[in-house]
């Protein structure tokens, strides 16, 4: 498993090894231990451009997942090395959501990483209520099993 981490925001520092261990732990819990992913932390301008380019929505969003395998239902690679795809997280949006939800930025990023990873595995809450509930259940299960993970984000200035 390899996590390729790309940070495109300057006002927040990340403990790279901790972020990569977090991503690995999420993949382990999803049964994708040998999968490779790309993880990018970007600003709202870049996220807005990506959301417009690939989804036709001219606004920023919190997380986008670009799966390299298309699955109508969740699929596990079962130990076979595979590239799942890329997860892109908007740090300014994550900061706003964390503040609104009275959570830390660490907690918000964990939630967004789990959400994005589930999309890479074939879950899609936009397919209907049943799939949305199934995805929410899986998100809660992964979050519970991860426990509390903090200390990988360090702010130093405004985002």
| pLDDT confidence of residue 78 | 53
- Quickly list DSSP for 81-140: -EEEEEEEEEHHHHHHHHHHTT--HHHHHHHHHHHHHHHHTT--GGG-HHHHHHHHHHHH
Burial class (CB in 10 A: 0-12, 13-18, 19+), 58: exposed
| pLDDT confidence of residue 17 | 86
Q: What is the 3-state secondary structure (H, E, C) of 21-56?
A: HHHHHHHHHCCCCCEEEEEEEECHHHHHHHHHHHHC
44-74, pLDDT tens digit by residue? 999 999 999 999 999 999 999 999 876 555 5
9-52, pLDDT tens digit by residue? 988 888 888 889 899 999 999 999 889 999 999 999 999 999 99
**Other CB atoms within 10 A of residue 95 CB:** 20
Q: Which domains does the chain have, with CATH numbers?
A: 3-149 (3.40.390.30)
- 7's enclosing H/E stretch is strand 3-7
Distance CA 132, CA 18 (A): 29
| pLDDT confidence of residue 99 | 94
| pLDDT confidence of residue 158 | 41
Contacts of 26 (CB under 8 A, 6+ apart): 113, 114, 117, 142, 146
pLDDT exceeds cutoff 80 at 151: no
What's the whole-number mean pLDDT along residues 72-98?
79
| pLDDT confidence of residue 152 | 62
């Amino acid at each position: 498993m390899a996590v390729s981490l790309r940070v495109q925001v300057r006002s927040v520092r990340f403990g790279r090894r901790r972020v990569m261990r977090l991503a690995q732990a999420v993949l382990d819990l999803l049964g994708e231990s040998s999968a490779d992913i790309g993880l990018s932390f970007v600003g709202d301008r870049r996220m807005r451009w990506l959301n417009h380019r690939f989804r036709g929505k001219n606004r920023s969003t919190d997380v986008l997942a670009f799966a390299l395998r298309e699955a109508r239902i969740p699929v596990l690679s079962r130990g076979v090395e595979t590239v799942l795809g890329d997860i892109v997280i908007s740090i300014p949006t994550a900061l706003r959501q964390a503040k609104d939800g009275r959570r830390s930025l660490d907690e918000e990023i964990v939630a967004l990483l789990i959400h994005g990873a589930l999309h890479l595995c074939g879950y899609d809450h936009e397919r209907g209520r049943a799939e949305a509930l199934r995805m929410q259940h899986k998100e809660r299960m992964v979050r519970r099993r991860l426990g509390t993970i903090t200390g990988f984000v360090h702010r130093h200035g405004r985002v």
